[in-house]
Amino acid sequence: MGARLLILAARIAAGVIMLRSGLEKLRSGWIANQGLERFIAHSDQAFGWFRGFLTHTVASHIKVFSYLVVMGELGVGVCLILGFLTRWASFIGLLMMIFFAMSEGVLLQPASPVCMGIAFLLLSAINAGMIAGVDRWLRGRAPDWVV
């Protein structure tokens, strides 16, 4: 019982962190006031090849990527809190953390995106949504690849 409670707490904590981050970006007008543009301008530590991706691809489609970041954080947060599509939400969260870590140049160093990425990987691997989550209810009702 103790391990299940710890898994539930970890899933909800990761969800709250992502939801809070997305809400902060939304409240601060991150999409409208070029928050991502400022982020790119200050990502001097990004890995060389990833810096090119940021300055050419992301900067060229700044509005789309701004929405993707904010909606990704909100979506991952809500899904983890509810235990809904937990593996998929954790996978998306992991990808986001890898991209954030590469933009900070800290892929294999102890840093917040790396720690969150590891948490998402573990939540996905243990199928944390089966513990007090919507995924438990969906099991048998939805295709196996979904939950």
Q: Is the distance from CB of 63 to CB of 80 less than 8 angstroms?
A: no
**What pLDDT was estimated at residue 47?**
80
**What pLDDT was estimated at residue 108?**
67
**What pLDDT was estimated at residue 88?**
95
Instruction: Give the C-alpha separation, 83 to 14, whole Å.
Output: 11
Q: Within 10 Å of residue 146's Cβ, how many Cβ atoms?
A: 12
Amino acid identity, position 53 = F
pTM (two decimals): 0.86
User: pLDDT tens, position by position, for the chain (147 residues)?
Assistant: 688 899 999 999 999 999 999 999 998 888 877 788 888 877 777 888 888 888 888 888 888 999 999 999 999 999 999 999 999 999 999 999 988 888 887 766 667 888 888 899 889 888 888 888 999 999 888 888 888
**What pLDDT was estimated at residue 132?**
86
The 3 state secondary structure assigned to the chain is CHHHHHHHHHHHHHHHHHHHHHHHHHHCCCCCCCHHHHHHHCCCCCCHHHHHHHHHHHHHCHHHHHHHHHHHHHHHHHHHHHCCCHHHHHHHHHHHHHHHHHHHCCCCCCCHHHHHHHHHHHHHHCCHHHCCCHHHHHECCECCCCC
**What pLDDT was estimated at residue 109?**
67
Instruction: Give the C-alpha separation, 104 to 19, whole Å.
Output: 21
Q: Within 10 Å of residue 147's Cβ, how many Cβ atoms?
A: 23
Phi/psi at 139 (5° precision): -55, 125
**What pLDDT was estimated at residue 96?**
93
Q: Is the distance from CB of 137 to CB of 13 less than 8 angstroms?
A: no
